[in-house]
Structure 1
Amino acid sequence: MQNNTPLILVDGSSYLFRAYHTLNNEKLGRYMATSDGKPSGAIYGVVNMLKSLFKQYGPEQIAVVFDAKGKTFRNDMYAEYKANRPPMPDDLRCQIEPLHEIIKAMGLPLISVEGVEADDVIGTLARMATEAGRETIISTGDKDMAQLVNEHVSLINTMKNEFLDVEGVTEKFGIPPHLIIDYLALMGDSVDNIPGVAGVGQKTALGLLNGIGSVEEIYANLDKVATLEFRGAKTLAEKKLIPHQEDAKLSYELATIKLDVELDFGLDDLGINPEDQEKLRALFGEYQFRTWLKQAEDGKSSLPEKSDDASVPTKPEKPESKIDTSKYETILSEEQLNLWVEKLNACELFAVDTETTSLNIIEADLVGISFATQAGEAAYLPIIHQYAGAPEQLAMDSVIEKLKPVLENPSIHKVGQNIKYDQSIFAAVGIELKGVQFDTMLESYTLNSVANRHDMDTLAQKYLNHECIHYEDIAGKGKKQVTFDQIDLEIASKYAAEDADVTLQLHQSIWPELEKEEGPKNIFNQIEIPLVNVLSKMEQRGVLIDAEFLRNKSNDFGKRIIELEQKAHELAGQPFNLGSPKQLQEILFEKQGLPVLKKTPKKQPSTAEEVLVQLALDYPLPKVIMEYRGLTKLKSTYTDKLPLMVQPRSGRVHTSYHQAVAATGRLSSSDPNLQNIPVKTEEGRSIREAFIAPKGYKVIAADYSQIELRIMAHLSQDPNLIKAFQNNLDVHSATAAEVFATDIDAVTADQRRHAKAVNFGLIYGMSRFGLAKQLQITNDEAAHYIDTYFARYPGVSDYMESTKQKAKELGYVETLFGRRLYLPQINASNGMLRQAAERTAINAPMQGSAADIIKIAMIEIQKWLEEEKPDCYMVMQVHDELVFEVAEDKLEEYSAKINELMASAVEISVPLVVDVGVGDNWEQAH
């Protein structure tokens, strides 16, 4: 059966409960019943909703799906599934049978399948309809159903007047439909008693999913978690994700709607049958639905005809995707290539993309190149597809010879999606990509860093109403996944050409929006795009490490870990698993009777790091546990792993720098994560000793001194703070002198430590409670410190208040250079969310400005490196620090030059001071 009306799938169980609580609840002062006391509100609510759907859509096919009695396969997986749900109220239970009878009498297919839930039946039918190319609307109030939304499937909630398509789901939940299962797996669901990851709430879940990706990707990239920009990210993997990995896996399975339920009917069986008027008259009369009864007695259908004036929300009109009508070309001959080279040379701008055998730029081999010159006009040039039966392709040398002039022509502009990767791939085959003018990932990120993810799939759905071909769909998943050179050329060509076409059309959609915003546009043009070249060069160079040193360090750590484990067993009086929070809880709080300082969301005593730190002040076992945890993490994350990351082709480690991850503009890195190498312990600092200079070179580390405090002085224009920096005073001692009303020369080490905590605490929005906890003082003492600080530095207080007010008015804050950070919760009614946004509003301009300043410095340094070609290489960026390899005979000259370029990168009200160190390794230089 083919028709133009949508297939309607009704989640009867969802609406049954919602109708009951809306229209049949004495506690709310609402109770709908017949004159002889039979409850009728749930029946009325569901039937009325069905009438509304017919009035809006006039469907020719529909299914009303209810949960069957008894347990489902999820109860076999997890006995506690939905165990906390109260039993169904009697006054609801008695309405189910008559409701089912009415629905069937109306001629509507009613479905209930044992062993599965209504969601699973709906999911299976939606999948079948999608495969048949049918538009499907699921009528439900269940958020779990959002995982089913795709280009053919949408949700409608008639009770909230809400319509959700792919874009609507993304806007409502902050993630696209394909991540909804992951969202539920991380957060859990108290209604269904899905455990999730203990301690992970909505904000953390969204931070993980938008920052890294799916649950599978998160657990495959745990080292990236600490680089994410939200509270608690630094310890999230160790404290929550790793201990609860099995819960996450189970929760993912429980939350996944089944799409392959065995059904004894098909889509063609979902047509509407003739009504049983006699039965409807009897039922409407029994339940005293007088209006409906009169219609039935008059012979009118209970199902209204479609009306153009219906109030049920409809799917908004979207422009047709241009991608779907595109025609692509595969370049296999010299003649075709020559024509495309001519076409590229005649362009002012074209999109370019590379296909390779690996995401690692050093391991990757170039498989092919795609181009797009205008919307819908793209081609793929294969080079080394080498599966059995692959057609003959043009030789690499010939391809490079013909493409090199146009790709290296700076006057012909190029656009890419994460074009830094393509630039590095081209460099490996001798092409220096020039004319890089645009990057759609960075356009989206600069326009709004917190609105959504900036990957091609997400952007294509948002701006082009297009679902891209997914790599897994053509290459497979997991261990069965093949590299791009093994994919059939017909399939590969469409995928690759689509990438270039989508990129060009994304640029045509996003750039006009960005161009309207002066600050973000300048950030894009003057910082983010020039930085692409800088980071590509750094990634290609890599950094040299002493693998033997790390292996020896791993052995030392391993011996110490065994000693600490034995000592912990002695202190506990029994052996136990030091990595088990449950066993640790039993030892610390049950056997040893230590005070419970904090509890988990499941009301168990917490063994989190902050708890152990406090307990370690007074008890020996927590101290040993802390040292054990620290060494175990160092060993597994760095000393064991780094030697394995040395690339055979270069003999170096090559990190990947990410421009479009941190909301504030800070760079992050992965594989390895250089931003998170610990420096607070001697063992942590020793890891930096492994980062060495090659023979004939030394390591130079150049670090901005107290840059965020200097930016605070500039932003606040507080005269005392500016004076301290202009006079080159120790700012923490100067603050201590102000707060403790003493001469700067008389400030004690303890007073300076307290002042330092105040200086840094306030720019991160620390409260008096947080300060008191950090300094181990009373709340009143902490409040006195803060009040005195603001009295001495009134400009800082004024800046904080005015910044919060401006953020509330605009919805965002800006850095010194116009980078924006949007704050969607700045006017939230929830106090905790609002206060968190206010703290971000205060800190983001400082952290973001610091990020911008070091990026500007990197751009200026790269210009010097390329123009004068000194024997000097920029190899790492970590927070406010740059690391170089410098020829030994040029140390003094190049140190001075680096200092000069960093210190003069921008001009603010106080001097930018750079600490420059030299050594045989990074630790010595630092």
Structure 2
Amino acid sequence: MSKKLVLIDGNSIAYRAFFALPLLNNEKGIHTNAVYGFTMMLMKILEDEKPTHILVAFDAGKTTFRHKTFSEYKGGRQKTPPELSEQFPFIRELLSAYGIPQYELENYEADDIIGTLSLHAEKEGFETKVISGDKDLTQLSSDKTTVNITRKGITDIEEYTPAHIQEKYGLTAEQIIDMKGLMGDASDNIPGVPGVGEKTAIKLLKEYGTLENLLQSIEKVSGKKLQEKLAEFKEQAVMSKELATITRKAPVEVSLNELEYEGSEKEKVMKIFKELGFNSLLDKLGGDVEAGNTVELEDIEFEQADNITPEMFAKESAFYVEVLEDNYHYADIVGFAVVSEKGSFYLPAKLALESDDFKIWAEDETCKKTVYDAKRSEVSLRHHGIHLKGAGFDVALASYILNPSENPDDLSAAAKQHGFLSVQSDEAVYGKGAKRRIPEEKILGEHLVRKAAALALLKEKLENELWENDQHDLFSSLEMPLSLVLADMEYQGVKLDMNRLVNMGEEIKSRLAEIETRIFEMAGEQFNINSPKQLGVILFEKLGLPAAKKTKTGYSTSADVLEKLAPKHKIIEEILNYRQLGKLQSTYIEGLQKVVNNETEKVHTRFNQALTQTGRLSSTDPNLQNIPIRLEEGRKIREAFVPSEKDWVIFAADYSQIELRVLAHIAGDEKLIEAFQNDMDIHTKTAMEVFKVGKDDVTSNMRRHAKAVNFGIVYGISDYGLSQSLSISRKEAGEFIERYLESYPGVKEYMNEIVKDAKQKGYVQTLLHRRRYIPEITSRNFNLRSFAERTAMNTPIQGSAADIIKKAMIDMADRLKEEGLRTRLLLQVHDELIFEAPKDEIEKLKKVVPDVMENAIELKVPLKVDYAFGPTWYDAK
């Protein structure tokens, strides 16, 4: 068998990869672009070249034997960027996992190691491939050695064989050294002969063969100026050739036999890919093994149950509930899988749901179950009269807590994210769109059992990571119990007064018709108001309003463009109102009617517990958190939300300025703390501080400015953002923010420290240890870095506020049970909890709700809760 040696110039390829790819970071904030590019290159080399022997050579240090000849050798090089330096250990670790030898030699460069070994290889009859980004190595090209030089990026390769060198330069490989001696090399600070470039050097070498021959025949060279230069810099040219010459006699102590390549250790490679966040490379690897785990899922054995017995169930199991995502509120359960010490079982949906043994086990709190999306599993089973108990570990929530920026759509995606590649995607099994269908039982059963098996494997890994991150308490004491509270809220749903909703729709239609008439009158013609193209023509051509630059698609008529034009023509205000009312009509009036359960007249919003990076809940199908309340018509939509029982009311309680209170606590600012402890109006207090006036001299405009900057600080507002919200100049806004930070030095110090901390750790965290990774905080791009810094400042505040209200929801559910109250928690909207309650429990709720919410967590300042109640959600304000 022929022997093939691949020699890789490690430093050169790492540099190429670093500068070829944009800065990438993993979830821990470590830069990974050089490692990623190097790995892609390595995978391609192994696939294309299929070497029998391989080595990666690295430079051992900054000084080499060449520095004795010329102390300024490589002297002009810029210092290696720290973003690259930090990646070399990972490159070396990766090479070890691939089973690829690495070598460096004190006082020598990687080029010398490669030169020496390639000569040994030629003598031993090897075919050799050299991989580098440095053209110096082309001097090693021979009939048995090909030098591959990266051109653009890392995948565009130029192959230097003796024939290619002859074709490109008209020279031999050996003459490359002579060429370097004449023209020098700026990248290595090799001086050469000043004024001699590549063309002149090639011309001279074609005529004289070697540098030595040329220097002996200077008087024959055409051109007096060139003769003078060659004579003056004769010794420098000889030294430059010496510097450019790769030694092939370096004292390399590694033998060719030691470079034999036996293949990678797949588990180790996958582990590193996972740590570095190389999910696409994990896919390419095609592995089926979890990083560091030898459990194979390739040929999984399972039993399809045709009769359910208690013997199938253990005290600890992985339990997977497959629900068709289109509408899980109405319990389209496809099937179940249970994996434990008792075996792996696929349970067809109908068989399990009709089985008493299955129900007893599912509802047994002592039978601990590892699940994926406990809330979804509980809601879907509840529709079949089964209350899921004992869901002790939720892989979806654990994965979300560990890294909220990576939100897998389903279990197969989550498994892949953590290194388990043997679970097919749902799309591959069910198809998509019109082709979506449930496959035959055998295929379905294997798919579900694979998912349950992945759950079993993931539990230990994710649980260990939660402990390592000090996040296990966040998971077990907050998110897990919250999932059951949310499941109860989703199942319960909220009652809609359909007659009222339909009447509102008619009223809005009438309003829209009136506005439309007025717009047409002002425009002087009828047109499609919803067409940006037609609207642009009316506003900017017919009415002559000043327009932003016209593009191929027409004029911009976005909301921000129109708002700036509002003072210039009355038609703008009408158009903005028309759009807002139109959205209310389509999204909420008509939208709510589409998702209401016609039997119960309830809507069952879905609370997304594992979606946002701050930890806040969101809601979909329908989204009840974003009903616009700037317009009275928007607020009135809340009139359609009513209690589901006679003689009950809607009770709403919300935190007052929770984020500013959290800011006071985290920043430890004495003035802010004092203001909240004395129950002062915080916006008035800020106006007093910033404008240097007494309480009685604070005007409504001053308070408005103070309010904007108070909340702006929480959301990381910039001078530009504040200038836009207050309609003031950017300079004024900047000065206002500066005065604010001078007034609250604790806040200023917090902002500086949190950014510094985020740059060091790669993440920020909330009071309850919820993390948000911010890799862009070390970006060289100013805009990316600025955004990341603002994110670092506001995430601990917003995230802590989200954690507090979640804790309040859990405490509230417990307290309602303790007190024996019939009151039900229906919705969470930002800082507000909405209940439905019997009228005879209202007096009790007035005490219980503020008590629970205000004591959810202990801060340096008091939490304050306001409440209201009435016959509809609109009235509870």
TM-score, normalised by the number of residues in structure 2: 0.68
Q: After superposition, where does 1:268-417 map in structure 2 within 5 Å?
A: 317-318=269-270, 320-321=288-289, 322-334=296-308, 337-341=309-313, 344=314, 347=315, 349-356=316-323, 359-373=326-340, 377-384=343-350, 394=351, 396-397=353-354, 399=355, 401-417=356-372
Shift of 1:769: 2.7
Amino acid at match of 1:517: N
Between the aligned partners of 2:357 and 2:43, the Cα distance in structure 1 is: 64
Give the corresponding residue for 1:479: 434
In the TM superposition, 1:530-609 aligns within 5 A as 530-596=481-547, 605-609=555-559
Report the secondary structure of 2:837's partner residue.
Answer: strand
Question: What's the CA shift for 1:570?
Answer: 2.4
Please give the secondary structure, in 2, of the residue aligned with 1:916. Answer: strand
Specify the alignment match of 1:57 in structure 2.
50
CA distance in 2, matches of 1:610, 1:157: 51
Structure 2 partner of 1:882: 833
Partners of 1:58 and 1:306 within 8 A in 2: no
Alpha-carbon deviations, 1:838-891, whole Å to 9, x = none?
Answer: 101111011000100000000001112333431100000111110000001111
Identity %: 39
Counterpart residue type for residue 369 of structure 2: K
Query: Is the contact between residue 158 and residue 313 of structure 1 (CA under 8 Å) also seen in structure 2?
Result: no
Distance 1:748 1:561, change over 3 A: same
Residues 1:803 and 2:754 aligned together = yes
* 1:666 and 2:616 aligned: yes
The answer to whether structure 1 residue 827 and structure 2 residue 778 are counterparts is yes
Q: Which residues in structure 2 correspond to 1:120-199 (within 5 Å)?
A: none
Instruction: Tell me if the contact between 1:459 and 1:506 (Cα under 8 Å) persists in the aligned partners.
Output: no
For residue 33 of structure 1, what is the aligned residue in structure 2? Answer: none
Instruction: Give the CA deviation at 1:54.
Output: 8.0
Amino acid at match of 2:578: Y
Match of 2:625 in 1: 675
1:515 aligns with 2:444: no
Letter of the 2:463 partner, please give it: W
One-letter amino acid matched to 2:344 = A
Mapping of residues 781-860 of structure 1, within 5 Å: 781-860=732-811
Verify the 8 A CA contact 1:704 1:915 in the aligned structure 2: yes
Distance 1:524 1:568, change over 3 A: same
Structure 1 residues 776 and 161: alpha-carbon distance in aligned structure 2, compared to 1, 3 A threshold: closer
Q: Deviations over 1:506-537 (max 9, x none)?
A: 2233222222111x222111111111110000
Q: Compared with structure 1, are the counterparts of its residues 529 and 159 closer, same or farther at alpha carbon in structure 2 (3 Å cutoff)? A: farther
Q: Give the secondary-structure state (helix, strand or coil) at the position aligned to 1:324.
A: coil
Q: Distance in 2 between matches of 1:839 and 1:283?
A: 54
Paired residue for 1:727?
Answer: 678
The count of aligned residue pairs is 640
Partner of 2:416: 461
Which residue number in structure 2 is paired with residue 751 of structure 1? Answer: 702
Question: Would the aligned equivalents of 1:162 and 1:313 in 2 still touch at CA under 8 Å?
Answer: no
Q: Is the 8 A contact 2:545 2:568 kept in 1?
A: no
Q: Residues 763, 383 of structure 1: CA spacing in aligned structure 2 closer, same or farther, 3 A cutoff? A: closer
Is 2:635 the counterpart of 1:685?
yes
- 395 and 838 in structure 1: CA distance in 2 versus 1, 3 angstrom threshold: closer
Q: Which residue of 1 aligns with 2:867?
A: 916
| Offset, 1:724 | 1.3
Unpaired runs of 5+ in structure 1? 1-17, 23-47, 60-138, 140-155, 164-279, 295-304, 385-393
Equivalent in the alignment of 1:614 = 564
Aligned to 1:323, the other structure's residue is in SS state: coil
Contact 2:683–2:707 (CA under 8 A) maintained in structure 1: yes
Measured against aligned partners, the alpha-carbon deviations of 1:651-683 in whole angstroms (never above 9, x if no partner) come to 310000011100000001100011111111111
Aligned position for 1:767: 718
Shift in Å, 1:58? 5.9
Specify the code of the residue in structure 1 equivalent to 2:442.
Answer: E
Summarize the Cα distance change of 1:51–1:775 in structure 2 as closer, same or farther, 3 Å threshold.
Answer: closer
Q: Deviations over 1:89-136 (max 9, x none)?
A: xxxxxxxxxxxxxxxxxxxxxxxxxxxxxxxxxxxxxxxxxxxxxxxx
Picking from 431, 447, 450, the partner of 2:402 is 447
**Match of residue 454 from structure 2:** 502
Asked if the contact 1:414/1:437 (under 8 Å) is kept, the reply is yes
Give the secondary structure class of the aligned counterpart of 2:396: helix
Alpha-carbon contact 1:700-1:918 (below 8 Å) kept? yes
Distance in 2 (CA, whole Å) between partners of 1:50 and 1:422 is 41
> Does the residue aligned with 1:877 lie in a helix, a strand or coil?
strand
Q: Secondary structure at the match of 1:558?
A: helix
Compute the displacement of 1:307 (Å): 12
RMSD, matched Cα? 3.6
Measured in 2, the distance between the counterparts of 1:50 and 1:283 equals 26
Describe the SS at the equivalent of 2:602. coil
Task: Report the CA distance between 1:761 and its aligned residue.
Answer: 1.2
Which AA in structure 1 matches 2:482?
L
Correspondence 1:245-260 to 2 at 5 A = none
Matched-pair contact (CA < 8 Å) for 1:464–1:506 = no
Question: CA shift at 1:650, angstroms?
Answer: 3.2
Give the Cα separation in 2 of the matches to 1:524 and 1:281: 63
Match of 2:386 in 1: 431
Per-residue deviation at 1:901? 0.5
CA, structure 1 residues 810+52, in 2 after alignment: closer, same or farther (shift >3 Å)? closer
The secondary structure found in structure 2 opposite 1:923 is coil
Counterpart contact for 2:319–2:339, Cα < 8 Å:
yes
> Compared with structure 1, are the counterparts of its residues 903 and 55 closer, same or farther at alpha carbon in structure 2 (3 Å cutoff)?
closer
The answer (yes or no) to whether the contact 2:370–2:391 under 8 Å persists in 1 is yes
- 1:283-321 deviations in Å (ceiling 9; x for gaps): 886556766999xxxxxxxxxx999689x9999844643
Aligned-residue offset at 1:714: 0.8
Q: Secondary structure at the match of 1:594?
A: coil
Q: Alpha carbons of 1:651 and 1:55: their partners in 2 closer, same or farther (altered >3 Å)?
A: closer
The one of 418, 421, 442 equivalent to 2:376 is 421
Deviations 1:879-911 (A, max 9, x none): 111000000111111232111111111110111
Deviation, 1:791, is 2.1
Deviation per residue, 1:551-579 (Å, 9 max, x gap): 11112212222222232222223332222
Q: Is the 8 A contact 2:298 2:422 kept in 1?
A: no
Counterpart residue number, 1:256:
none
Contact 1:440/1:503 (CA < 8 Å) preserved in 2?
Answer: yes
For 2:494 and 2:813, how far apart are their aligned partners in 1?
A: 17
CA–CA separation in structure 2 for the residues paired with 1:672 and 1:865:
27
Can you list the C-alpha shifts for 1:314-369, whole angstroms capped at 9, x where unaligned?
998446432223212101124xx33303xx1xx3x311122346643442244432
Q: Which amino acid aligns with 1:444?
A: S
1:426–1:432 contact (8 Å) kept in structure 2? yes
Q: Distance in 2 between matches of 1:854 and 1:157?
A: 58
Match of 1:353, SS state, is: strand
In structure 2, how many angstroms separate the alpha carbons of the residues matched to 1:662 and 1:282? 59
1:427 CA displacement = 2.1
Q: How far has the Cα of 1:547 moved from its partner?
A: 1.4
Kept after mapping to 1: 8 A contact 2:533/2:555: no
User: 1:851/1:292 Cα in 2 relative to 1: closer, same or farther (>3 Å)?
Assistant: same
The structure-2 alpha-carbon separation of the partners of 1:471 and 1:306, relative to structure 1 and needing over 3 Å to count, comes to farther
Change (3 A) 1:489 1:792: same
What letter matches 1:494 in structure 2? E
Give the Å deviation of 1:468: 2.5
